[in-house]
Amino acid sequence: MKPSWFFGVDPTRGERALAHLAGAFGVAATLGIGLDADWTWWRLLLAAALAYDLAGGVVANGLDSAKRFYHGPLPLPPTRLNRFMHNEIGFAAAHVQPIIVGLAFGAAWWWGPLWYAWALAGVVFVARAPRRLARPAALLIVLTGAMLAPSIPAPEGLAWLPVVLLLKLVVAHAVPERPSR
């Protein structure tokens, strides 16, 4: 199987199934929330796409196959875009979902940039930490974000987004592990 930005290098059928299951759960939960919130059709569609990417990405980025892809040599042609996305900070910088959600769902102007910056700073913090402290540093970033998120007004039905974003980028993606084969 060709290397994939979502699954990494040579994912097993079980690894792919778990990531898809997480994405499907994210979509189902978000659609339920959105229907209760009486979102427009385009907000439902946008939220479903973002939920699939974020929830599925929490699991996908934690797969051994993804760890081999992102924390090993670049398994694709070394184009500028491939090198940027293969870098843990570049990958995180491309995740502008909180800014999109903030704009599309009427959050305070600073809500999206706050959580975008929190996730990006968390990835930088983990990338710069000594390897043995990477996981505890990531957990500290997510813990503080999870504890602060309920006190920061979020767009209706999307209070989950900051924590899921932090889990995806800071814990699942940025922590370099020694994956098993």
Q: Model's pTM, two decimal places?
A: 0.93
Spans of all domains in the chain: 13-173
Mean pLDDT by runs of 10 across the 181 residues of the chain is 82 94 98 95 97 97 90 86 89 96 95 98 97 95 97 96 98 81 54
d(C-alpha 26, C-alpha 34), whole Å = 12
Report in angstroms the alpha-carbon separations of 150 from 13, 144, 146, 154, 174: 36, 11, 7, 8, 24
